[in-house]
Structures are given as C-alpha cells and as structure tokens.
Chain A
C-alpha cells in the first residue's frame, strides 16, 4: 500500500508529472482537439469522467485478478472495461446532453484509444494505490489533462492568427509549443514536498 498523501498525489498527477506533458499520454487528442478552447474543455470533461470511472473499475478488477492469481489478464480486462465505459458515457451523453454529444462527434469513441486512460489504470495499479488514493489520482490526472489541453488550445488559437511559415504550420508548430509548455511544467518539480 502506497503511503503518499492525497494532496501530494493530486499535485503530482496534475502538475509535476502531468500526463500529457511529462508522460506523453493522450497525445492524439492533445493535438487533435486542441485547436479550439471550447472543444478542448468539452473533451477534457469527458476524459476526466472516463478516467474516474476507469480508475475505480481498475481498482476493483485488480482485486479480483489478485484473488484468482491471473495478472496476465490485466491488460485485456482493463481495456475492455474502458471501452465499455466509453460506450456508457456516449449513451448517457446522448440522453442527457445532445448538444455536447454532437459537438464532440468522433472524439467520443476515440477516448477508448486515449492512452491516458489505460495509462492511468496501469500506473495506479503499479503504484499500489488504495481506493481513495486511486480516485484522487484520477481527479489529478483529469485536471492535468484539462489544463494542458486548454493551455494548448489557447496558444493555438492565437497562433492561427499569426504569420507562420507554410512548412511549419499545423502540427510542427503545435509540437514546438508543446515542448515549450512541457519545459514550463518542469518548473513544478519539487512542489509536492
């Protein structure tokens, strides 16, 4: 059982070891959805919710796997649970908030292949977090993901209006911005002490 404190776990996941900028998880949506702040916020919300559910489920599944001593089923069971959760979120969203559902479009099913969610589940298992710690970790990861996405979207919106050479336009520029953001986030290291 990991003895890290809740605040330290949250800070770690959100800032110090930001999932996108330090661990390189969730890069596909990071570059795909981050051109407009609005879509970025909506995507982050959906991802955060899926992260919460996935973390809780991963905790439960891991208990079962350890009881029956079948660690080799971990990857396959985690990813199946994540896909089902995403289906669930899709259905709920269609019922409860059709405009958001339409706005997110293709990105919703793509959350399944978002490495950040599977990565969250696997990291949390590796670190041996208890249930509340896992929830806090998921909250922190979601917050960090949202922060990175929104920051990126903000910069890219401005960049679209600037005079950027043709060769650099698009993803290359986004990559450089991401690199600089990542360096900025390095300044948070040592914060959790």
Chain B
C-alpha cells in the first residue's frame, strides 16, 4: 500500500485543527478540564505536555529499530515517564507556586492517552524529523484547546485574564466556571463551536463538489 506523501508542514498543521487531540479525538481530556481554571495554568500544562510529547516522540523515533515489537508498550511507558519526571522537577525548579497550582496533573501527563497514542501510531513508524513535527503540531493543538477552555473559564469565572481584572467591580462572576462543572460546560461550548464550524466546512465542500459535478456533466 503506497503511503500518501504528506508534506512536512501538513504534518505540523494537522495537529492544530483537523486532528486536534482535544476536540476531534477527545484525547487528554483529564488535564484539559482539570488545570484549565486559569489561562496561565492552561498554558503551563500545555507547554509541559508538548515538551513530553516532543521528547518522547523523538526518543521513540530514534530508538524505533532498537525496540522489539513485544516490549514496545513497556518501553514507551518508561520513556514517557522519564520525561514527565524531568518536567516535574524542572517546573519545581522554575516556580514552586506554579508547581502547586498544577499539582498532581504534571505527573498525570504520563497517562495522557495522547502521548502514548502518538508514540505508538506515529513516532514508532516515522523518522525523527517527522516525529518532531507531529509532536509539535499535536502539542500546539493541545495547548491551544486548553488555552481556549482556560480563557473562557477564567474570564467568566474570576473576571480576570492572566490575573488582570477585566470588569468593573459590579460584575458578578460566574463562579461555577472555575469549579469542576465549569470545566465540563466550557469544553462543551467550545466543542459545539468546533462542531458547527466543521459542519459548515463539510456543507461548503459538499456544495462545491455538487456544483463541480453539475458543470462537468
């Protein structure tokens, strides 16, 4: 079976929209909902996950001929856990406050189905260059999704953005948005927006195809 030639840019771009891990594939939802109560936390979590995704993907790709088929899941888990531990200590060294805010979810990056999934499905079958692009794309897409959820929750739930007060004193914040329920609601709203946009895209493509069919016949 001949593989369709995927251009390097497309390798990167696909993670941002078409194959967005959070909104299309529903992967990595746990951190998406848990640490997105402020925009900063969402960005930090996204950055940490992107780092692990990148490094794990690169390692798996470099070692792909070295890892036997039977031992691959165990090896991937080991590699991912190693990089997560590194990120954990790196964040503690950068800022204790940030580490407290992200809490146990840094360690939980290890079980983010996104990373194991990409390692298994992509990095183990492609050269390091493409693995890096794929990891970056997925990571940026993931961070973007988290960021949007985080912004909605912080602006509506605390009335701030990056800690800066946005509304005059009279504004009654929707506290529910920074509570767990708010995570579910925010994600649902963005998912609806994404679905609606995709629906319109699909309709437009169908119309274009029909018109092309008409003019051709």
Contact = CB atoms under 8 A, between A and B. Distances in A.
Interface of A: 21-28, 31, 72-76, 79-80, 83, 110, 112-115, 117-119, 122-123, 126, 167-168, 171-172, 175-176, 178-180, 182-183, 186
A123 B192 CA distance: 33
Nearest to B78: A76
Interface in B101-126: 104, 107-108, 110-113, 116
B67 interface: no
B7 interface: no
B113 A180 contact: no
Nearest to B195: A167
Interface of B: 26-27, 29-31, 33-34, 73-74, 77-78, 81-82, 84-85, 88-89, 104, 107-108, 110-113, 116, 176, 179-185, 187-188, 191-192, 195-196, 199
Nearest to A17: B180
Contacts of A115: 30, 108, 111-112
Q: By DSSP majority rule, is chain B's interface helix, strand, loop, or mixed? A: helix
Contacts of B199: 167
Contacts of B29: 24, 27-28, 31
Contact of A186 (B107, B181, B195): B181
Nearest to A76: B81
Given A76-B78, A80-B74, 4 more contacts: A21-B180, A75-B85, A80-B81, A176-B184
Majority DSSP secondary structure for residues of A touching B: helix
A72 B77 CA distance: 16
13 contacts: A24-B29, A25-B108, A27-B30, A27-B33, A28-B30, A72-B85, A75-B85, A75-B88, A76-B81, A113-B111, A115-B108, A179-B182, A183-B176
Contacts of A186: 179-181
A83 B104 contact: no
A183 B174 CA distance: 13
A182 B82 contact: no
B192 to A, nearest CB: 5
A54 to B, nearest CB: 12
